Amino acid sequence: MSTDPEPTVIGILALGSLLLCAGCSSGAQREALVLPPDSARVVGLALSDQLSDVYKRGDWPTLATMLAPDYLGTAPGLSWNLDSLQAAFPKIHFIAWRRDQATVKELSPGTLLVNDDGQLTESYDGQDISGRYRLTDVWVRRGGRWLLLFEQEIPLPAGS
Instruction: Report the DSSP beta bridge partners of residue 99.
Output: 118
Torsion of CA 56, 37, 28, 84, to 10 degrees: -20
Question: Which of 148, 142, 150 lies closest to 32 in space, CA to CA?
Answer: 142
Question: What is 6-22+45-155's CATH number, 3.10.450.50, 3.40.50.150, 3.40.50.300, 3.10.20.30?
Answer: 3.10.450.50
DSSP 145: E
Half-sphere exposure of 52 (CA within 13 A, CB side): 21
Beta-carbon contacts of 42 under 8 Å, excluding residues fewer than 6 positions away, are none
Continuous H helices in 69-111: 82-88
- On whether the CB atoms of residues 109 and 71 are closer than 8 A, the answer is no
Half-sphere exposure of 13 (CA within 13 A, CB side): 9
CA separation for the pair 118, 29 (Å, rounded): 33
CA separation for the pair 20, 22 (Å, rounded): 5
pLDDT in tens, 4-61: 444 443 344 344 444 434 444 344 444 556 677 689 999 999 999 999 999 999 999 9
pLDDT in tens, 99-148: 999 999 999 999 999 999 999 999 999 999 999 999 999 999 999 999 99
Predicted confidence at residue 22, as pLDDT, reads: 45
